[in-house]
């Protein structure tokens, strides 16, 4: 058998069920690997040694009595914006550096009910604002493929932890590409479900109409297993979709013959790096060899996605983050002179520069005299983008394109230029604006670094995305490649 930490979630589940491994053995192996690698990678903010070991022992005892659920004793980890009862939940910010959540997020409780064991909480860009994981109060996460490079963001800790085999499965969130972009840069699989497919209850908000919880893992099969656990209606979330959850694993092996893959012209113009284009062509060759056909489509308003997103998301962030004022919870300035001083210094000292930048942009966009010119106009563009996707998907089953314009960039390379950083999400933000599901999966390496292709489907079309990705992974070995020395 391979080393325990080399196994996928599906393989670990099989080994546990067959009695080849115990939960204690699996959990200890991953905790040892975290202890070995995390000091350098900085993927975990909190490591739950004691709680995880106890849960593993309990899972083994329950399994011995025949009373354990199917996923009992399997390890995973949570992005540190999912509230976890009794465990520090920081959101990567000084503002919440010492905050211990008094309840579990819906996603966390679903994982616990299934028997999954949390290894800890994963690093992230502060309040999920960033594309490189350099904005965390707890320091930048490093890409396991090249420690001088970023892992992407905001779910960089989740992606790096999976890529380095410190966990087989990680929760993550995606507001404008924060699952798909880091998955592409770290050679992992990531899925952003349809807006409303996964409850946002207990997920610390950035932009409420765009945020969506999802997963990062090694394979589409692992994501299919995990998504079946966390998806579903939650009455505590008014945006949660009351729609039945299918068995995502049931359709993984469906043939791609007769499937039509749409190629948006705007994703393949002269701006796409030639090396990335060749990588995408290699993936398309596999799709065609499996019986799929391709058709050219157009997303006419895609160029406006980035500017519209960076009006809507900061506007919603400005509203959501107003609750962090030093009064009820979170960071509180010392010895305030009065209430105004408490507000100003608590927020000034507790928030990082990128969060402040987005709050200021959002507050300005919502202010009197500018609301119609900026926020309303951005929402109108959002509607046009949604219509573009509906039109394109009426001609095909899935849309295909690169996830990122390039491979992982060097840490510090873009921190002085926020606009250049925002353009890292050029291929991903539109999917969030339309509320559609999107996934990023492993493509061929480019000069030794991972690349990823993106699939976008119709609303609640997660099964079709995972089926297509699984078929590619069955036919290739790109998803099995791993960082040298790890």
| 432, 192 contact by CB (below 8 A) | yes
| 451, 402 contact by CB (below 8 A) | yes
Beta bridge partners of 270: none
Report the C-alpha gap between 116 and 468 in whole angstroms. 27
Determine how β-strand 438-446 pairs with β-strand 449-456: antiparallel
CA dist 408 → 62, 152, 153, 370 (Å):
43, 7, 11, 36
H helix runs in 367-480, sequence order:
377-393, 418-422, 429-434, 462-475
Helix (H/G/I), strand (E/B), else coil: 404? coil
Q: Where are the beta strands (DSSP E) in 137-195?
A: 169-174, 189-192
Give the N- to C-terminal CA distance of the chain in Å, as an integer: 18
Q: Six-digit token pair at 33?
A: 């690997």
| 101, 84 contact by CB (below 8 A) | yes
Residues marked active site are found at 79, 154, 178
Handedness of CA 223, 38, 151, 415 (dihedral sign): positive
């Amino acid at each position: 058998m391979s080393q325990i930490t080399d196994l996928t979630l599906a393989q670990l589940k099989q080994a546990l069920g067959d009695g080849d491994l115990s939960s204690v053995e699996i959990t200890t192996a991953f905790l040892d690997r975290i202890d070995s690698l995390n000091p350098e990678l900085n993927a975990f903010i909190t490591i739950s040694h004691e709680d995880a070991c106890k849960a593993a022992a309990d899972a083994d005892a329950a399994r011995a009595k025949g009373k354990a659920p199917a996923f009992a004793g399997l390890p995973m980890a949570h992005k540190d914006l999912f509230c976890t009862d009794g465990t520090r939940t920081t959101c990567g910010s000084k503002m919440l550096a010492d905050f211990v959540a008094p309840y579990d997020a819906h996603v966390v409780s679903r994982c616990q009910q299934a028997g999954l064991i949390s290894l800890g909480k994963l690093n992230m860009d502060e309040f999920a604002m960033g594309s490189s994981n350099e904005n965390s109060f707890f320091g930048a996460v490093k890409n396991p493929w090249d420690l001088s490079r970023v892992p992407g963001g905001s779910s960089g800790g989740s992606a790096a932890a999976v890529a380095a085999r410190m966990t087989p499965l990680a929760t993550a969130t995606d507001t404008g590409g924060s699952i798909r972009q880091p998955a592409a840069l770290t050679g992992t699989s990531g899925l952003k479900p349809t807006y409303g497919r996964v409850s946002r209850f207990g997920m610390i908000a950035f932009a409420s109409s765009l945020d969506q919880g999802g997963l990062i893992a090694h394979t589409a099969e692992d994501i299919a297993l995990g998504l079946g656990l966390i998806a579903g209606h939650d009455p505590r979330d008014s945006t949660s979709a009351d729609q039945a959850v299918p068995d995502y694993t049931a359709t993984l092996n469906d043939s791609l013959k007769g499937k039509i893959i749409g190629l948006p012209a705007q994703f393949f113009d002269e701006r796409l790096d030639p090396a990335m284009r060749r990588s995408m062509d290699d993936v398309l060759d596999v799709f065609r060899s499996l019986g799929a056909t391709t058709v050219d489509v157009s997303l006419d308003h895609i160029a406006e996605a980035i500017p519209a997103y960076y009006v809507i998301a900061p506007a919603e962030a400005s509203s959501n983050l107003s609750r962090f004022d030093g009064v009820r919870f979170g960071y509180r300035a010392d010895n305030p002179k009065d209430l105004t001083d408490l507000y100003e210094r608590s927020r000034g000292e507790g928030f990082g520069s990128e969060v402040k930048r987005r709050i200021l942009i959002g507050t300005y966009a919502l202010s009197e005299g500018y609301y119609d010119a900026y926020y309303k106009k951005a929402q109108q563009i959002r509607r046009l983008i949604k219509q573009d996707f509906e039109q394109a998907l009426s001609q095909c089953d899935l849309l295909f394109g690169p996830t990122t314009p390039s491979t992982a960039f060097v840490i510090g390379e873009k921190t002085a230029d926020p606009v250049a950083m925002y353009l890292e999400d050029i291929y991903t933000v539109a999917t969030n604006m339309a509320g559609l599901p999107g996934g990023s999966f492993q493509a061929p390496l480019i000069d030794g670094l991972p690349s990823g292709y993106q699939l976008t489907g119709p609303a609640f079309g997660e099964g079709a995305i995972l089926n297509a990705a699984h078929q590619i992974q069955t036919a290739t070995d790109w998803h099995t490649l791993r960082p040298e020395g790890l």
